[in-house]
Amino acid sequence: MGNQHIHSTTVIAVKHNGQVAIGADGQATMNAYVVKSNVKKLRKLQDGKVIAGFAGSTADAFTLLERFEEKLNSYGSNTRRAAIELAKDWRTDRYLRRLESMLIVIARDELLVISGNGDVLEPDHEVAAIGSGAMYAQSAALALKKHASHLTAEDIVRESLHIAADICIYTNHHFTIEKLG
């Protein structure tokens, strides 16, 4: 079974009306098979003040989440600075450079995407998505933010995940959603 291509997930975060929410589906697939349907792809950090979601290799993501939490501790819970320092290490460290995962992190006033290319992105329109179903979820969230301003950030995340799960074969309807603010 070596070198199986693992597809997974949809993770989306939304800032809307003073709230920040993040959600992920629970599916992990290997080639054409669903290997698990209820994977937890969100992690609370800093006593729940920061929440991170991941797409890609689970083991790699856990390594990155541990490093990110170390950076948060080193930089006084400054989410942006911790993200930048993690991205620097991820890009330059021989071991980390091989890790295949992406992260979205949210804090009270922050929504950031961190990649192994050294990117720390604060997305336009306060919507970020990663994973196989990212573009479906992001498109849905942008439309909902624009035309359904009465919805909460959590509502937008949930509905966006439903739309992605209806379209993307690597995304299921088993969601985990967390919110801040």
Catalytic residues: 9
Beta pairing partners, 106: 51, 111
Q: Which two tokens stand for residue 95?
A: 């071991």
- Report residue 149 as tokens: 């301003």
- Lay out the sheet containing 176-180: strands in order across: 127-131, 10-16, 19-24, 176-180
Question: Under a CB-based contact definition with an 8 Å cutoff, are residues 37 and 27 in contact?
Answer: yes
Cα angle for residues 163, 168, 169 (degrees, 5° grid): 135
